[in-house]
Amino acid sequence: MSRRRIAELTLPTLSIIGFIALWQIVVVLRGIPPIYLPAPSAIAAALAQMARDGSLWINLTATLLRIFAGFVVAAISGVSLGLLMGRSRIVAQIADPWLAALYPLPKISLIPLMIIWLGTGETYNIVMSAISAFFPIVLSTYAGVQQVDRGLVLAARDLGASPRQIQAKVILPAAVPHIFNGLQLGMGVTIILVVAAEMIGGSDQTGMGYLLINAGQVMDTDKVFASLVVMAVVGAVIIKLQRFIDRKAAPWAVNAGASRE
Amino acid sequence: MEVCVEAVSKIWNVAGAAPVTALDTVHHGFPSGRFSCLLGPSGCGKSTLVQIVGGLETPSTGKISIFDPATAHSAPVGAASIMMWQGLNLFPWRSVIDNVAFGLEVAGIGRRERHERARAMLAAVGLTGFDRHLPRQLSGGMRQRVALARALIMERPILLMDEPFAALDAQTKIVMQEELLRIFDATRKTVLFVTHAIDEAILLGDEIVVMTARPGRIKEVIPIDLQRPRSFDLVNTKEFGALFQHVFHLIREEVTRAMSEQAGQASEQAA
Helix (H) or strand (E) holding B55: none
The verdict on residue A260 lying in a domain is no
Mean pLDDT value across residues B116-145: 92
The verdict on residue A49 lying in a domain is yes
Contact B89 A152 (CB under 8 A): yes
Residue B59 scores a pLDDT above 90: yes
Residue B271 — pLDDT band, cuts 50, 70, 90? Answer: low
Return the pLDDT at B270. Answer: 67
The verdict on residue A261 lying in a domain is no
**Which residues, listed in sequence order, are joined to residue B216 by a DSSP beta bridge?**
B23
Mean pLDDT value across residues B99-128: 94
Q: What is the pLDDT of residues A105-148, one digit of tens each?
A: 999 999 999 999 998 888 999 999 999 999 999 999 999 999 99
Return the pLDDT at A254. Answer: 63
Contacts of B57 (CB under 8 A, 6+ apart): B10, B48, B51
Residue-range definition of the domain harbouring residue A155:
39-253
Task: Give the single-character DSSP code of B233.
Answer: G
Residue B265 scores a pLDDT above 80: no
Closest-CA residue to A122 (of A67, A189, A76): A67
Q: What is the pLDDT of residues B145-197, one digit of tens each?
A: 999 999 999 999 999 999 988 888 889 899 999 999 999 999 899 999 999 89
Cα–Cα distance measured from residue B95 to residue A186, given in angstroms and rounded to the nearest whole number: 30
- Tens of each residue's pLDDT in chain A, 261 residues: 677 888 888 998 999 999 999 999 999 999 899 899 999 999 999 999 999 999 999 999 999 999 999 999 999 999 999 999 988 889 999 999 999 999 889 999 999 999 999 988 889 999 999 999 999 999 999 999 999 999 999 999 999 999 999 999 999 999 998 999 999 999 999 999 999 999 887 656 789 999 999 899 899 999 999 999 999 999 999 988 988 888 887 877 765 443 333
User: Do A45 and A7 fall within a single domain?
Assistant: no
User: Do A117 and A239 fall within a single domain?
Assistant: yes
The reported pTM is 0.79
Q: Is B170 exposed, middle or buried (0-12, 13-18, 19+ CB in 10 A)?
A: exposed
**What is the percent of chain B where pLDDT is above 70?**
99
User: Do A26 and A45 fall within a single domain?
Assistant: no
Chain A: residue whose CA lies nearest to B80: A158
Chain B: residue whose CA lies nearest to A168: B106
**Residues A207 and A130: beta-carbon distance below 8 Å:** no
Return the pLDDT at A1. Answer: 62
Return the pLDDT at A250. Answer: 80
The verdict on residue A87 lying in a domain is yes
Chain A nearest CA to B260, separation (Å) = 32
Cα–Cα distance measured from residue A223 to residue A189, given in angstroms and rounded to the nearest whole number: 24
Least confident of A106-110, A115-119, B219-223, B254-258: B254-258
- List the single best residue of A148, A149, A159 to mutate versus B (max B Cβ within 10 A): A159
The verdict on residue A258 lying in a domain is no
Chain B nearest CA to A261, separation (Å) = 22
The alpha-helical segments, DSSP class H, found in chain B are 46-53, 96-100, 102-106, 111-124, 140-152, 170-187, 198-204, 238-270
> Would you give the distance in Å from CA A80 to the centre of its chain?
20
User: Do A49 and A157 fall within a single domain?
Assistant: yes
CATH number of the CATH domain containing A61:
1.10.3720.10
Contact A169 B106 (CB under 8 A): yes
User: Do A122 and A9 fall within a single domain?
Assistant: no
Our CA angle for B170, B174, B175, nearest 5°, is 120
User: Do A118 and A139 fall within a single domain?
Assistant: yes
pLDDT, mean over chain B: 90
Q: In the sheet that B2-12 helps form, which strands lie side by side, from edge to edge?
A: B20-30, B2-12, B61-67, B74-75
Cis peptide preceding A112, ω within 30 of 0: no
User: Do A68 and A153 fall within a single domain?
Assistant: yes
Chain A: residue whose CA lies nearest to B107: A160
Return the pLDDT at A204. Answer: 65
The verdict on residue A230 lying in a domain is yes
User: Do A64 and A134 fall within a single domain?
Assistant: yes
The verdict on residue A123 lying in a domain is yes
- b/e sequence B94-133, b meaning 16+ C-beta within 10 Å: bbbbbbbbbbbbbeeeeeeebbebbbebbebbebeebeee
Cα–Cα distance measured from residue B8 to residue B106, given in angstroms and rounded to the nearest whole number: 31
Closest-CA residue to A158 (of B46, B37, B84, B119): B84
User: Do A186 and A242 fall within a single domain?
Assistant: yes
Contacts of A175 (CB under 8 A, 6+ apart): A83, A86, A141, A144, A145, A147, A148
> Would you give the distance in Å from CA B145 to the centre of its chain?
15
User: Do A80 and A202 fall within a single domain?
Assistant: yes
User: Do A23 and A43 fall within a single domain?
Assistant: no
Residue B214 — pLDDT band, cuts 50, 70, 90? Answer: confident
Look up the ipTM and state it: 0.88
Could you give the number of structural domains in chain A? 2
Chain B nearest CA to A158, separation (Å) = 6
Query: B93 and chain A: CB distance < 8 Å anywhere?
Result: yes
Query: B78 and chain A: CB distance < 8 Å anywhere?
Result: yes
- Selecting from B56, B92, B93 the residue whose C-beta is nearest the C-beta of A158 gives B56
Residue B203 — pLDDT band, cuts 50, 70, 90? Answer: very high
Q: Is B1 exposed, middle or buried (0-12, 13-18, 19+ CB in 10 A)?
A: buried
User: Do A43 and A25 fall within a single domain?
Assistant: no
Chain B environment of A161 (Cβ under 8 Å) = 102, 106
Q: Is B33 exposed, middle or buried (0-12, 13-18, 19+ CB in 10 A)?
A: middle
